[in-house]
């Protein structure tokens, strides 16, 4: 049989298996080799909270979806074209997403009675005709892996664990991924574990050779490199970009960074990355709890460092009292909330946008703070720098919202032009700013810039400027404890106006409305960027006019937002929550914004955005 | 080094503790001590949480932060990690540090971060007007325990030793010289130090320590631990502390033991067993109770250890720039 080579413009592949099967690693490697090959790509890892959920059960299924293309794409794809299912549970949990006629590759060795029953199958789907809508390839990956690795010295139990490399080899052959680069990568990754190295190499090579020689597949495919703007690229996840952004913010401001944090899914990778970067003037501190993490960050800020804390929803709850202190002290602080599905422990590994109102209002007292959101994995880099800029300049805590989808999803990133990164000036005070009645001089910590209302800040170690600050209400200018009613009202209003005034110092919202005459505006924020933009493309392909605005700043909103919103007949706000931004928009601008919500722990599909708008147009 | 006097260390704020409060004498001891420590005012920071004791920073003419309940050690830890040049003191109370802030206290001690913690222990909640605290005795009748508390108290010294504290001492507000001596030694210690200060709250818990601190009882009930000296006390120096197979240590009549049997105090013992036994000698401040330095040992200090890792990284890789950061990533180039 001759194998045909077909060219595809894009393909969506999902690897699914048990949480111990190494699907995330397989997907990551496939992604990395596609990135180096030059495809545009977007990924969506989806895994359970348990490290090793009961083997073979639906609850234990871990999946990694990757979308590769020869053109610019925005999402990890709505429906996979190819599903690799390593066991019956993985098949059962994922088959409904596979496109009709799609390629299904199963590890047939795992379809024994026990595994079928664990997955809840009464009959074997491989024999009962239930999969006839798909092109099914049954491949005994376990036994082929054992056969391929028998000379490596690996015990069968260990050798079997290499079957994900067999799958990787097979799919790499099917889609013509660079061969040698993955071989080199395996050699490097396992260089200190010789048996594992040999076993994985053998399995990878066997999978690749199997595709070539088994005469099972009529064709293999190429997805040509995408046309990218000139420049240097890397493949990056949101958490990694966030960590790099934190380092960059420190270097741009000349401030030492202290990350005070506590491990929590899905934010911990930011800690892992930063803890490696000690020569970049970054210190990391894994505290005893969430509260100590943010407390230490604030203490560092008080001393003139950039205090950063990373967490997810439950941690934000715990840090809220310290945020209030930071608001009262008026000290810089960056809180990065990698949102996950709540309430309570919720779905720790699943994504959600449900902390927006928490970020806005989740503190006692009148306690406003700026809120910034990242919209794609690589955008986390710039979003962090912007959040840090506001925190440092305005001496305020800032919450940056990312989420599980951005954190773990990856995309190619055109490395930024370093000459365009602006320095951040902390402007610490070195001089007295007050003359006492007796003619002596002192430092008043709450003397403000009359326009921006930014307070003066002197660091410990500055001779003569010794002063005390605290969480008790303080007298305007002097900072001395004050119980005066009118002073309290003044301070509450000064703090609020300072945050509102940041509006003058942030970029305008950008409208994507090519013909400028759309009647419907899709207003989004955060990680829905890709889904909304892809949905908008689909609508425009059907000649439906629709505009898209995606917000970077959620508090304060950009100055031009009101004008934009009032220009459109309909404002639709898609969100992975029950309508939190739409509430803010409705209350602030008295606009009948329509909430389109989805709260399933997964992102919107582009088609869902498309359908919602089409239905809306039809019904109105 | 600027020469200063007590006055230089007092801020312009009027002190607002209740008249007769033990906090005044602690403030005086600190303000008297500071000029002799060889530190500049601008390099000194007092950090507190919430409670009566927590007003302390407002009265010191240094840098200071009045933070939130229980969290002062966390705030101080972040400052100490990034500003090892500063002399950092945490002022806290028994409620602030042992109840709401218990976790931060034990971890600050375990971490051996370079901060000095002054714990004002008055065995009551003062600022909230008289509820029982984690150090209130069993049976304590307060506003929140009208029928008596049914909880055993924490022993702060035992707790600190259990938390791997490297400098653990106790003093009381009736003896300025002893307070100053404990603070002086804490200041010399590298790492975290904890000083429990028995402090009388004359409004809500008056006389809590009078069994051991009042002038007529001190001789018989205060056991002054002095390094290198046998532990002897009593108005007639007729009592002593000896090792005991069952309880670790016990009080004995000197007439009943040989001089060799009397325990020689040594705060530098690496293992904390004897220090712990001494902390448990009294079940509360109503019977012979040791004061002084229970433990003072050297151990790697956290911020310094972290700084060493930073210096290693700098030596190996040089000072990083954003360009270095990005060029270390696996990249491809589109022309």
Average pLDDT value for chain A: 96
B240 within domain boundaries = no
How many angstroms separate the CA atoms of B175 and B29, rounded? 9
Instruction: Say yes or no to pLDDT of A218 above 90.
Output: no
Q: A190 pairs with which residues across the strands?
A: none
Q: Is the ipTM of this complex over 0.85?
A: yes
Of A232, A244, A480, the CB nearest to B331: A232
**Is residue A71's pLDDT more than 90?**
yes
- From the CA of A520, how many Å to the nearest CA of chain B? 37
- Eight-class DSSP state of A534: H
Specify the range with the lowest mean pLDDT, choosing from A209-223, A255-269, A326-340: A209-223
What's the gap in Å between the CA of B291 and the closest CA on chain A? 30
- Residue ranges making up the domain that contains B41: 6-215
Average of pLDDT values for A6-16? 95
Q: Is the pLDDT of residue A179 over 70?
A: yes
Question: Is B103 near chain A, with CB under 8 Å?
Answer: yes
pLDDT of residue B30: 98
**What tokens does A49 get?**
């909270």
Residue A12's DSSP bridge partners are: A67
- Condensed to tens digits (0 to 9), the pLDDT of residues A141-177 reads 999 999 999 999 889 899 999 999 999 999 999 999 9
Q: Does residue B77 belong to any structural domain of this protein?
A: yes
pLDDT digits (tens, 9 = 90+) for B136-166: 999 999 999 999 999 999 999 999 999 999 9
Chain A residue closest in CA terms to B316: A279
pLDDT at A415: 97
Among chain A residues, the shortest Cα distance to B57 is held by A468
Q: Collapsing DSSP states into helix, strand and coil, what is residue A438?
A: coil
Q: Give the pLDDT confidence score for residue B148 in this predicted structure.
A: 97
> B301-330 b/e with 16+ CB inside 10 Å = b?
bbbeebeeebeebeeeeeebebebbbeeee
- Residue B129 CA to residue B204 CA, distance in Å, equals 7
What structural domains and CATH numbers belong to chain A? 4-223 (3.40.920.10), 234-417 (3.40.50.970), 427-505 (no CATH), 511-619 (3.40.50.920)
Q: Is the pLDDT confidence value at A53 over 90?
A: no
The answer to whether B27 touches B20, Cβ cutoff 8 Å, is no
CA nearest to A274 within chain B? B325
The pLDDT value given to residue A51: 80
Domain membership flag for residue B273: no
C-alpha count within 13 angstroms, C-beta hemisphere, residue A618: 6
In this prediction, residues B225-239 reach a mean pLDDT of 97
Is residue A31 predicted with pLDDT exceeding 90?
yes
Q: For A288, which residue in chain B has the nearest alpha carbon?
A: B107
Tokens, residue A393: 């300049």
Q: How far apart are CA B69 and CA A325, in angstroms?
A: 11
Q: Give CA–CA dist A28/B231, Å, rounded.
A: 67
Q: What is the mean pLDDT of residues B91-112?
A: 98
- B62 in A contact zone (CB under 8 Å): yes
Q: Write down the number of H helices and E strands in chain A.
A: 20, 25
> Is the pLDDT at A48 greater than 90, yes or no?
no
Residue A481 DSSP label: B
CB contact under 8 A, A32 and B330: yes
User: Which chain A residues are within 8 Å of B330, Cβ to Cβ?
Assistant: 32, 36, 234-235
CA B74 from centre of chain: 15
The minimal CB distance from B75 to the residues A281, A289, A299 is found for A299
d(CA A3, CA A136): 18
Q: How far is residue A30's CA from residue A233's CA, in Å, rounded to a whole number?
A: 17
Contacts of A231 (CB under 8 A, 6+ apart): A414, A415, B333, B334
**Lowest-confidence range among A85-94, A208-217, A240-249?**
A208-217
Average pLDDT over residues B316-333: 93
CB contact under 8 A, A291 and B319: no
Is residue B307 situated within a structural domain? no
Q: How confident is the model at residue A556 (pLDDT cuts 50, 70, 90)?
A: very high
Spatial separation of the C-alpha atoms in residues B273 and A194, rounded to whole Å: 47
B75 vs A: CB within 8 A: yes
Q: Is residue B173 part of a domain?
A: yes
Task: List the single residue in B47, B60, B81 with the smallest CB-CB distance to A285.
Answer: B81
**Mean local confidence (pLDDT), B41-60:** 98
* CA pseudo-torsion sign A425, A552, A598, A120: negative
Task: Tell me the nearest-neighbour CA distance from B93 into chain A, angstroms.
Answer: 17
Label residue A69 by pLDDT band (50, 70, 90). very high
The closest of A189, A187, A193, A110 to A145, measured between CA atoms, is A110
Contacts of A467 in chain B (CB under 8 A): 63-64
Q: CA A324, CA A330: separation in Å to the nearest integer?
A: 10
For residues A41 and A11, what is the distance between their CA atoms, to the nearest angstrom?
10
Q: What is the pLDDT of residues A291-308, one digit of tens each?
A: 999 999 999 999 999 999
Size of interface A-B (CB pairs under 8 A): 199
Total domains in the fold of chain B: 1
Handedness of CA A314, A318, A322, A324 (dihedral sign): positive
What integer pLDDT is reported at residue A461 of this predicted model? 98
For residue B334, being part of any structural domain is answered with no
Task: Decide if pLDDT at A2 tops 80.
Answer: no
Long-range own/partner contacts, residues A432-438 (CB < 8 A, 24 or more apart): A432/A464, A432/A465, A434/A477, A434/A478
- On whether any CB of chain A is under 8 Å from the CB of B147, the answer is no
Backbone angles phi and psi of A137, in degrees to 5: -120, 115
Write the residue in A32, A35, A299 that is nearest to B77 by C-beta: A299
Q: A481 vs chain B: nearest CA distance in angstroms?
A: 9
Alpha-carbon Rg for chain B in angstroms: 22
Structure tokens at A426: 């902390």
CATH of the domain at B204: 3.40.50.970
| Cα–Cα distance, A479 to A169 (Å, whole number) | 66
Tokens representing A404?
Answer: 């599980």
Is B52 a domain residue? yes
Which two tokens mark B301?
Answer: 């200090």
Residue with tokens 């496939």: A30
Read off the pLDDT band of A1 (50, 70, 90): low
Q: Could you tell me whether strands A547-551 and A468-470 are parallel, antiparallel, or unpaired per DSSP bridges?
A: unpaired
| Residue B277 domain-assigned (yes or no) | no
The Cα A292–Cα B74 span in angstroms is 5
Instruction: Render A95-107 in DSSP notation, one character per residue.
Output: GGGSPTT-EEEEE
User: B330 — contact with chain A (CB < 8 Å)?
Assistant: yes
């Amino acid at each position: 049989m001759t194998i045909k080579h077909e060219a595809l413009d894009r393909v969506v592949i999902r690897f699914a298996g048990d949480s111990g099967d190494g699907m995330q690693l397989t997907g990551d490697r496939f992604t990395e080799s596609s990135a180096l090959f030059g495809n545009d790509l977007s990924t969506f890892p989806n895994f359970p909270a348990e490290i090793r959920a009961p083997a073979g059960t639906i609850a234990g299924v871990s999946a990694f979806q990757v979308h590769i293309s020869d053109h610019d794409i925005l999402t990890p794809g709505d429906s996979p074209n190819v599903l690799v299912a390593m066991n019956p549970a993985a098949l059962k949990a994922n088959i409904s997403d596979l496109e009709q006629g799609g390629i299904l590759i199963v590890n047939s060795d795992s379809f024994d009675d026990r595994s079928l029953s664990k997955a809840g199958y009464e009959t074997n789907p491989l024999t009962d005709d239930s999969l006839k809508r798909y092109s099914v390839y049954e491949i005994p990956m376990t036994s082929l892996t054992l056969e391929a690795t028998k000379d490596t010295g690996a015990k069968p139990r260990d050798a079997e664990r290499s079957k994900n490399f067999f799958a990787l080899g097979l799919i790499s052959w099917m889609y013509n991924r660079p061969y040698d680069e993955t071989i080199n990568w395996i050699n490097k990754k396992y260089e200190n574990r010789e048996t594992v190295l040999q076993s994985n190499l053998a399995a990878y090579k066997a999978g690749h050779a199997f595709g070539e020689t088994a005469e099972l597949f009529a064709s293999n495919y190429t997805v040509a490199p995408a046309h990218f703007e000139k420049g240097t690229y890397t493949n990056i996840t949101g958490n990694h970009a966030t960590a790099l952004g934190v380092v960059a913010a420190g270097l741009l401001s000349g401030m030492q960074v202290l990350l005070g944090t506590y491990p929590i899914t899905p934010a911990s990778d930011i800690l892992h990355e930063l803890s490696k970067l000690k020569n970049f003037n970054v210190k990391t501190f894994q505290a005893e709890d969430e509260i100590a993490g943010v407390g230490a960050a604030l203490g560092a800020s008080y001393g003139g460092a950039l205090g950063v804390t990373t967490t997810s929803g439950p941690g934000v709850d715990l840090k809220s009292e310290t945020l209030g202190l930071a608001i009262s002290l008026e000290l810089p602080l960056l809180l990065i909330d990698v949102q996950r599905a709540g309430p309570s422990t919720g779905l720790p590994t699943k994504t959600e946008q449900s902390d927006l109102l928490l970020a806005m209002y989740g503190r006692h007292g009148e306690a406003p703070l700026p809120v910034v959101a990242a919209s794609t994995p690589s955008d986390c880099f710039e979003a962090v720098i912007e959040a840090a800029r506001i925190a440092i300049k305005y001496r305020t805590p800032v919450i940056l919202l990312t989420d599980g989808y951005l954190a773990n999803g990856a995309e190619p990133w055109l490395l930024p032009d370093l000459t365009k990164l602006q320095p951040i000036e902390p402007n610490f005070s070195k001089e007295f700013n007050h003359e006492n009645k007796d003619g002596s001089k002192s430092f008043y910590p709450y003397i403000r810039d009359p326009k921006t209302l930014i307070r003066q800040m002197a660091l410990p170690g500055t001779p003569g400027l010794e002063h005390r600050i605290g969480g008790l209400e303080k007298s305007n200018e002097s900072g001395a404890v004050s119980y005066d009613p009118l002073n309290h009202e003044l301070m509450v209003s000064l703090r609020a106006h300072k945050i509102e005034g940041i509006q003058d110092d942030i970029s305008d919202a950008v409208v994507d409305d090519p013909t400028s005459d759309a009647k419907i505006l899709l207003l989004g924020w955060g990680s829905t960027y890709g889904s909304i933009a892809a949905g908008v493309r689909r609508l425009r392909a059907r000649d439906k006019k629709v505009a898209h605005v995606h917000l970077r700043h959620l508090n304060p909103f950009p100055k031009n937002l009101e004008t934009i919103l009032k220009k459109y007949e309909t404002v639709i706000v898609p969100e992975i929550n029950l309508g939190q931004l739409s509430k803010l928009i409705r209350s602030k601008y008295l606009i009948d914004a329509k909430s389109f919500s989805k709260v399933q722990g997964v992102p919107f599909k582009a088609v869902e955005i498309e359908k919602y708008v089409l239905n809306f147009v039809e019904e109105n | 080094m600027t020469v200063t006097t007590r006055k230089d260390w007092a801020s312009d704020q009027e002190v607002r503790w209740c008249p007769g409060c033990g906090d005044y004498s602690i403030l005086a001891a600190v303000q008297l001590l500071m000029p002799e420590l060889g530190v500049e005012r601008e390099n000194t920071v007092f950090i507190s949480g919430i409670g009566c004791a927590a007003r302390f920073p407002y009265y010191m003419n240094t840098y200071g932060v009045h933070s939130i309940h229980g969290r002062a050690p966390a705030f101080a830890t972040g400052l100490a990690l990034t500003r090892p040049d500063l002399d950092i003191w945490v002022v806290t109370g028994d409620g602030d540090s042992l109840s709401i802030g218990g976790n931060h206290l034990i971890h600050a001690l375990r971490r051996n971060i370079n901060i000095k913690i002054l714990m004002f222990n008055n065995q009551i909640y003062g600022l909230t007007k008289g509820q029982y605290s984690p150090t209130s005795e069993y049976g304590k009748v307060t506003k929140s325990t009208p029928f008596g508390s049914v909880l055993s108290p924490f022993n702060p010294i035992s707790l600190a030793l259990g938390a791997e504290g490297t400098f653990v001492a106790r003093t009381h507000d009736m003896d300025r010289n002893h307070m100053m001596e404990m603070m002086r030694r804490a200041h010399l210690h590298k790492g975290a130090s904890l000083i429990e200060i028995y402090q009388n709250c004359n409004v809500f818990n008056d006389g809590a320590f009078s069994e051991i601190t009042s002038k007529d009882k001190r001789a018989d009930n205060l056991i002054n631990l002095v390094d290198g000296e046998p532990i002897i006390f009593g108005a007639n120096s007729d009592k002593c502390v000896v090792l005991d197979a069952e309880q670790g240590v016990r009080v004995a009549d000197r007439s009943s033991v040989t001089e060799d049997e009397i325990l020689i105090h040594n705060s530098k013992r690496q293992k904390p067993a004897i220090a712990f036994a001494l902390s448990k000698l009294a079940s509360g401040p109503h019977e012979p109770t040791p004061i002084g330095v229970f433990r003072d040992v050297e151990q790697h200090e956290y911020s310094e250890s972290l700084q060493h890792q930073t210096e290693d990284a700098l030596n190996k890789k040089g000072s990083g720039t954003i360009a270095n950061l990005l060029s270390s990533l696996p990249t491809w180039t589109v022309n």
